Amino acid sequence: MKRLVILLLLSACQKPEVKETEEVHEAFEARLTDTQLATAKVEYGKIEEKNLTSSLRLNGVLRVPNTHKGSISALYGGVVKTLLIEMGDPVKKGQIIAYIEHPDLIKLQEEYLMSSARLEQTEEEFKRQLQLVEGQAGAVKTLQASKSEYLAAKAKFQSLEAQINLLGLSGVKEGKMYASLPVRSPIHGTISTIYAKMGEFLNVAAPLADVVDNNALHLDLQVFEKDLHKMKIGQKVRFTLTNLPTEAYDAEVFSIGSSFENDSKTIAVHCKVTGPVKGLIDGMNVSARVETSTDNQKAVLNDAIVEAEGKTFIIIEEEKGVFERVEVIKGVTDLGYTAVMPVKDLAEKTRIVTKGAYFVHAAMVKSEGHTH
């Protein structure tokens, strides 16, 4: 009996066991008054469905193809008598931009006219000998000599005529003589460089000026191998000059390279500039945005995004004046919206802070600091 009483007393003295491993987690939240919210101009919205366009940010350079660049040179050496251009002047194909003088130019025209007369003379003699031949041995021999002279005169004339035509001196055929040789632009474009000076002697084919057709500007983008599959013919491109980011231009992809560019490990994607080209020059560096796809996604206004502690959050209103942050996975940003995927399920009508999110988050951080 005494043993039973002792056991009961011992049992009564034992305390209940406490589970020390249990921890209590408090939500990262803040409580704000109406006055605080009004002062911070907090506004609300919700997660919306938006058609957002994914894009690539690329670097590139403006290029004019060699087929739209020209070097203006004279086909005959001589002294620059007249220059009719200045830097930046627009020119048309075939437009005269200078005149060259050389004494041999006069001699060439004189030789051409004499050759023309000689050809006419030998041709008449050859025709006369043809009428006289009629089987006479002596006449046949004279005919052969006449024919040889005629063919030689014809070859000489044709050679000189080709030179006259090449130099653009077609008026010589009517007896007109030129004291100077016109130099013409080979393409439409704008004068980009002038090498010659008045009175300077230019050798044959020496460059007098350069002309560039900026209307044919191409945009060459450098695309890394991992992004190449995103590029398609016909994609729209929006680009700005590296040194002038406030002015935007348009282009369109028309060709995709098939080999790496030197040691850069990038592939060139060629784009045609589709809008105005004023202010654009061959060789300028650009920053471009290429649209790759458009999808319907859950998104919030950019101002609703809070970046903190290496993560991305949105601020939701649990109840009036009570806020909690929710981590999200951030996606593409487009037209003022950012695609988001909350890491936890949210009700469709959940209100989120769309303006003043950083103010509310700061209040959370301050509140959290007071709990420790």
pLDDT tens digits, residue range 276-329? Answer: 888 888 999 999 988 887 788 899 999 999 999 899 999 998 888 889 999 999
Query: Looking at 103-107, 121-125, 130-134, 300-304, which range is the least confident one?
Result: 130-134
β 285-301/236-241 pair status = antiparallel
- In this predicted model, which residue has the larger pLDDT, 168 or 225? 225
Name the band, by pLDDT with cuts 50, 70 and 90, for residue 176: confident
Q: pLDDT at position 136, please?
A: 64
The vertex-115 CA angle with 122 and 170, nearest 5°, equals 130
Q: pLDDT at position 256, please?
A: 92
**Which of 82-96, 104-118, 293-307 tops mean pLDDT?**
82-96
Q: pLDDT at position 59, please?
A: 93
Name the band, by pLDDT with cuts 50, 70 and 90, for residue 55: confident
How high is the mean pLDDT of the chain? 84
Q: pLDDT at position 156, please?
A: 92
Mean pLDDT of 193-198: 93
Between CA 67 and CA 211 the distance in angstroms is 11
- Alpha-helical segments (H) within the chain: 2-13, 34-39, 103-132, 137-166, 357-370
Q: pLDDT at position 370, please?
A: 54
Between CA 285 and CA 27 the distance in angstroms is 50
- Is the model's pLDDT at 1 over the cut of 60? no
- In this predicted model, which residue has the larger pLDDT, 368 or 250? 250
- Is the model's pLDDT at 5 over the cut of 70? no
What are the residues facing 99 on neighbouring strands?
82, 182
- Structure tokens given for 363: 């209040």
Q: pLDDT at position 137, please?
A: 57
Question: Percent of the chain having pLDDT more than 90?
Answer: 39
Instruction: Count Cβ atoms within 10 A of the Cβ of residue 331 and give its class: 0-12 exposed, 13-18 middle, 19 or more buried.
Output: middle
Mean pLDDT of 151-157: 92
- Quick one: which of 204, 174, 187 has its CA closest to 100? 204
Q: pLDDT at position 366, please?
A: 78
- In this predicted model, which residue has the larger pLDDT, 233 or 261? 233
Q: pLDDT at position 130, please?
A: 82
Q: pLDDT at position 2, please?
A: 42
Mean pLDDT of 186-199: 93
Give the pTM: 0.59
β 207-212/69-73 pair status = antiparallel
- In this predicted model, which residue has the larger pLDDT, 18 or 229? 229
- In this predicted model, which residue has the larger pLDDT, 83 or 129? 83
| Per-residue model confidence as pLDDT tens digits over 200-219 | 998 888 899 999 998 889 99
- The count of C-alpha atoms lying within 13 angstroms of the C-alpha of 110, restricted to the half-sphere facing its C-beta, is 6
Between CA 298 and CA 293 the distance in angstroms is 15
Query: Looking at 46-50, 221-225, 297-301, 368-372, which range is the least confident one?
Result: 368-372
Q: What's the one-letter identity of residue 48?
A: E
Mean pLDDT of 70-80: 90
- Listed in sequence order, the residues at least 6 apart from 357 whose beta carbon sits closer than 8 Å to its beta carbon are 303, 304, 305, 306, 314, 315
Domains of the chain: 29-52+296-370 (2.40.420.20), 56-66+216-294 (2.40.30.170), 68-212 (2.40.50.100)
- In this predicted model, which residue has the larger pLDDT, 291 or 197? 197
Contacts 24+ apart (CB under 8 A), 64-68: 64/212, 64/213, 64/214, 64/216, 64/217, 64/218, 64/282, 65/216, 65/218, 67/216, 68/187, 68/189, 68/212, 68/213, 68/215, 68/216
**Residue bearing tokens 């609300």:** 44
| Per-residue model confidence as pLDDT tens digits over 236-271 | 999 999 888 888 899 999 999 888 877 778 999 999
- Is the model's pLDDT at 12 over the cut of 80? no
- Listed in sequence order, the residues at least 6 apart from 345 whose beta carbon sits closer than 8 Å to its beta carbon are none
Q: 66-103 in b/e burial notation, b at 16+ Cβ within 10 A?
A: eebbbebbbebbbebeebebeeebebeeebebbbbbbe
- In this predicted model, which residue has the larger pLDDT, 186 or 277? 186
Name the band, by pLDDT with cuts 50, 70 and 90, for residue 152: very high
Residues 60, 220: contact at Cβ < 8 Å? yes
Q: pLDDT at position 277, please?
A: 83
Mean pLDDT of 24-51: 80
